[in-house]
Amino acid sequence: MRELSVGLGERSYPILIQQGLLDDIGSRLHKNPFAKRYGIIADDHVASLFGERLLASLHSSDIQAEMITFARGEASKNLATVAELSSTLARMGFDRKDGLLALGGGVTGDITGFLAACYMRSIPFAQVPTTLLSQVDSSVGGKTGVDIPEGKNLVGAFYQPKAVFIDSQILRQLPQSELLNGLAEVIKYGVIYDRDFFKFLEMSRKDILALDLQVLEDVIARCCKIKAAIVEADEQESDLRRILNFGHTIGHAVEAASKYSLAHGAAVAMGMVAVSGLSVLKGILDPREKERIKNLINDFGLPVSIPQEYDRDIIKQYLLADKKTIGGRVFFVLPTKIGKVIITDEVEPQLIVKVLE
Ligand SMILES: NC(=O)c1ccc[n+]([C@@H]2O[C@H](COP(=O)([O-])OP(=O)(O)OC[C@H]3O[C@@H](n4cnc5c(N)ncnc54)[C@H](O)[C@@H]3O)[C@@H](O)[C@H]2O)c1
């Protein structure tokens, strides 16, 4: 068992990482309850894979719990789903002494966290992330929310969970494409924060791709530790936390230009290589460092260049519309060496054009 902590004063919480933890959550909640009764929120696919196991774990510890599901996919991450789930909770008689468990990927975690922040003016919740992306990123830090037609994640709240329960074994069932989405975020941590971790990833690529659970746990724990440190320093993303957007500004624009046919991880991977290119063009990153970043991304089977068929003008338009644009300026997270980045809006438009080409 590895135990980390996110230190936020009285809102601090543990991150527990262990193979098979799913079956042990009941006994842990029995020892450290945060609610009288639990609503397990899961998408229908995750509910069919792991719902019974989590319910059985809680019931065997004499904990009252019910499963509540919604349709899988990003398309469900909206206010209508939050309204529907709220009505279900109300009809089932959930009150302020009760709590929620988010069993699933980032979509479930974001919806459930937001629902918990709003239902009866807030009830407690915990995260049980089941995708690599949610285990290394979205379940930690308390960013919750949903999409609206005008944009992704535009309605939400900062609302921290009571605990994060991570079972690495669960990743065995994850499709390769979902694993890659998480790996893009894993590589991100190495570039923005931890040169040694980047080296570790270079050396452990084969074990990670072979889903060696011991190595995967090391990876998850390192990522959670970095995310926790960043969140502790800047919970509400006023400054440091923005470094987590490395590769995402261009990534989101490429995703949009692909009409969302491109996987998020692939888009972020292209974005990370592109901004590393920007750093080289600006003369703040050694080209050999950029090659290392590009090679690692490539070695994990992620794409390193933006396909020609994606219209560069559309990418530029989306870049300007990105929500990280403040006062009409586009901010980029640029590496200055592996393990270190700066946030700047001082990027000449012609450099952006050049790097996109
Ligand atoms: N809150 C944050 O800080 C934060 C950070 C990054 C991303 N996000 C959000 O996370 C979302 C993406 O999360 P995601 O990639 O986990 O997507 P997801 O939750 O949609 O999960 C992806 C798919 O995998 C399936 N799945 C989940 N676990 C599985 C398992 N163990 N085995 C087999 N299938 C499984 C799901 O049913 C789903 O179809 C986006 O909405 C993004 O905005 C939030």
- What number does the ligand 1 atom closest to the CA of 43 have? 37
Ligand 1 pocket: which of 107, 170, 220, 230 to mutate (most atoms within 8 A of CB): 107
> How confident is the model over 151-189, as pLDDT tens digits?
889 999 999 999 999 999 999 999 999 999 999 999 999
Buried (b) or exposed (e) across 56-69, using 16+ Cβ within 10 A? ebbeebebebebbb
Contact 79, 149 (CB under 8 A): no
pTM of the model as a whole? 0.96
Give the pLDDT of residue 327.
65
Q: How far is the CA of 289 from the centre of ligand 1 (A)?
A: 30
Q: Whose CA is nearest to atom 41 of ligand 1?
A: 107
Q: Which of 178, 181, 185, 225 is catalytic?
A: 185
Contact 154, 147 (CB under 8 A): yes
- Pairing mode, strands 2-6 and 151-158: unpaired
Rounded to whole angstroms, how far apart are CA atoms 264 and 180?
9
What residue ranges do the domains of the chain occupy? 2-173, 176-356
**In the structure, how many helices (H) and strands (E) does the chain have?**
14, 11
pLDDT average, residue stretch 285-291 = 98
Rounded to whole angstroms, how far apart are CA atoms 40 and 63?
12
Q: Which has the minimum average pLDDT: 166-170, 228-232, 236-240, 292-296? A: 236-240
Rounded to whole angstroms, how far apart are CA atoms 217 and 17?
7
Domain 176-356 coded CATH 1.20.1090.10? yes
Q: Which of 242, 248, 290, 324 is catalytic?
A: 248
> How confident is the model over 110-158, as pLDDT tens digits?
999 999 999 999 999 999 999 999 999 999 999 999 999 988 899 999 9
* Residue 324 pLDDT > 60: no
Which three-class secondary structure state does DSSP give residue 39?
strand
Rounded to whole angstroms, how far apart are CA atoms 227 and 129?
15
Give the pLDDT of residue 330.
83
Q: Determine the CATH number of domain 2-173.
A: 3.40.50.1970
Q: Bigger pLDDT: 259 or 94?
A: 94
> How confident is the model over 23-49, as pLDDT tens digits?
999 999 999 999 999 999 999 999 999
Q: Which has the minimum average pLDDT: 141-155, 184-198, 220-234? A: 141-155
pLDDT average, residue stretch 93-112 = 98
Q: Which of 77, 264, 290, 324 is catalytic?
A: 264
